[in-house]
A and B are shown apart, each in its own frame.
Chain A
Amino acid sequence: MNEVKYLIVGGGVAGTTAAETIRATDKEGSIAIVSDEPYRFYSRILLSKPNFFLEKIPFDQIWLKDEAWYRQNQISLMLGKEATKLDPKGRVVSLNDGSAWHYEKLLLAVGACARRWSVPGAEKKGVLSLRTLDDAKEVISRVKNIKQAILIGSGFISFEMADMLVMAGVDTTLVILESYYWEPVLDEASGRMIEKVLIEHGVKILHKSEVFQIEGEENVTGVVLKDGTKLPCQLIVAGIGVECPLGWIKEAGVIVNRGILADEYLQTNFADIYTAGDCAEFNDLVLGERVLLGNWVNAQVHGRTAAANMVGGHQPSKMVSFYTTQGMGLAIAFVGNVRVTPDREVVVRGTLEAGSYGRLILHNGKLVGATLLNLTREMGMLAKIIERGADLTAKKPFLADLKNDLSMI
């Protein structure tokens, strides 16, 4: 049996930030990170960015910690290993290499995996999701030699991939189930605004369409859609969402839903087991609900918070989460909780004609989130308003007019 004081499962931004934060306080306690990938900490957020693909950002920019950093901080890194079993009473994690690790505090920062695409032929070469550095390497090597590509799904990944493929001169078709881009997360006006820039840049969009089968021998050569349409392609990137790989965690008795359930201190139902990042379904004090968020800053803040609590602190995770992207002259930003449930109300700010279009989402009169097209300059202010939690019922007409300065709220 190996002994380690702090065991971290997951070597991404949540796990690595946690290790760094633990070491800043506890100079002596042993720390070990287990990662199922063969690489040390890298910038997962960079993987889908066009400038990275087209090598305008040097490839080595991907590495966020060098090997010496792990050594200097006495953090042992076990790469290419999977945790297979957890015994929360005995405080033991077993790995697929047969080793067992006894811990004092455990952090589950296992992230999310790309959802499996179950279309016949999805195992062919050139059919990819974009979640790991190996996926990105495959796309980089393929994009130089292809004529046509197909993107599946409407979201951040497809938008960024479309931008990259257009820049690379690849004929790109977007195949989406929905009747407009990003339905139902966005309203139709926002979706059409995104589609307009995609189409202007030469991307073809097929709505209410679904792939029936993928063609090719070893490598993908095309797809057949459910309506019988055949499209040639040498690359498919499926941006159809993520899911959390929680089997061994659930079996151990850790309570899970879509993610690992945790309170605002990122503590699970076991006092010495914490969770952080994309896999943590935690009690968000700002939003007043339990949420599962998949973005870089959230994972970073989670890593810091979980670590602070693992070394004996009592600090809640409190931030308004956000994610942005930009391409083809359009800046997209989501802040807070952008889900529009029946009990929520949307105030539209700006107009399509003005080129800036925001949707402010209110719950019981309080701002809980916003989707912003060409309005990122207001994101910081909106985050502050969400955090403040003031009743804006009487301010709705004010919010709707782009000319009004939000700092006056």
Chain B
Amino acid sequence: MNEILDMGRYGAYVWPCFALAAVVLAWNVVAARRLHSAARQHALRRAAAKAAS
């Protein structure tokens, strides 16, 4: 386990890269889902308001 974490003394460079990649991938998923969810809610509210008027 320590061997993997140490990465032949390059752990301080290798792991931050993979952590950063995980953050960017996760941001893309969360941001896209939130964008779609917000747009859908907005469209549903407009449709409901239109139907009521």
* A and B interact: no
Residues of B within 8 A of A (CB): none
